[in-house]
Amino acid sequence: MAWLSVFLSALAIAVGAFALRHHPRFPWLVGGLGAALLTAWVAVAVLVSTDYRDADGFFDCWPDCTPWQDAVLAVTLGVPAMLAGLALGGLAARIARRRKR
């Protein structure tokens, strides 16, 4: 699960950097991806707070976690990392674009 989070964070950095580097006037791709990630994170927060299908059980389910609880854990911990990666990728693209001028 940790490797998946690392891979998705690296992918978010690459998408953010690519979109802002090659399409500086159209950052809607980065914004759309960020909005989708934030929406997923808020949806999981609502599911955890309402205890839908024992979504909050990912805290203490190990070693008998269900795939549902693993997915909730991945979204809960992975989305902030991916959003940070997206922001870092965008920042790196802006710095590279300014240095190119």
Q: 27 phi and psi, to 5 degrees?
A: -80, 20
Confidence of residue 3 (pLDDT cuts 50, 70, 90): low
d(CA 97, CA 59): 43
Contact 69, 61 (CB under 8 A): yes
- For a pLDDT cut of 90, what percent of the chain falls above it? 10
Domain span holding position 65: 2-100
Note the helical H segments in the chain: 2-22, 28-49, 67-100
Residue (of 60, 32, 30) closest to 48 by Cα position: 60
pLDDT at 43: 92
71-90 pLDDT, tens digit per residue, is 898 888 888 888 887 777 77
Contact 39, 25 (CB under 8 A): no
Structural domain total, the chain: 1
